[in-house]
Amino acid sequence: MTTKHLRLIDANLNRLAEGIRVVEDIFRYVLDDKTTSKRLKALRHKARVDLYDQLINSRDIKNDVLKTSTTSEQTRADLTSILIANFKRAQESSRVLEEFTKLISTKDSENFKYIRYELYDIEKSIPKSK
């Protein structure tokens, strides 16, 4: 596994956990949905690989060519748009992790596939706008 592969895994693990955390906190504190919050928390805790030291050592924030936010990332219209953006962020990251952890472990890859499909299912819980 190269440093660049580890860097990619590190970035996507962070993105996945952050996206899930935003969604989890909305379901917990804004929507008071204990069941969905617990499901999301469990997924966030599953979003791990046993490479902490290697991942930290591969981190290179100074040379990230896209660390500046895009215009679409700087604004949100409402709670639903925040939820959708963060569900998509987490789903996309879990897909990247599913592919790249195949270089490490089939078990890890299947774990991220499971997370992705759970996120697809939980996304259906977004309250409908009235």
DSSP state of 48: -
Tell me if 33 sits within 8 A of 100, measured CB to CB.
no
Q: What is the pLDDT of residue 42?
A: 98
Segments making up each domain of the chain, as ranges: 3-60+78-123
pLDDT score at 57: 93
* 38 Cβ contact partners less than 8 Å away, ≥ 6 residues apart: none
pLDDT at 98: 98
Residue 8 confidence (pLDDT) above 50: yes
What pLDDT shows up at residue 69?
65
Amino acid at 17: A
Residues 6+ away with beta carbon under 8 Å from 31: 127
Q: For 79-100, how does the pLDDT look when each residue is reduced to its tens digit (9 = 90+)?
A: 999 999 999 999 999 999 999 9
Q: How many CA atoms lie within 13 A of 68 on its CB side?
A: 3
Res 23 pLDDT > 60: yes
Residue 130 has a pLDDT of: 47
Whether the per-residue pLDDT at 102 is higher than 90: the answer is yes
Task: State pLDDT tens for residues 119-129.
Answer: 999 999 998 86
CA terminus-to-terminus distance, the chain: 49
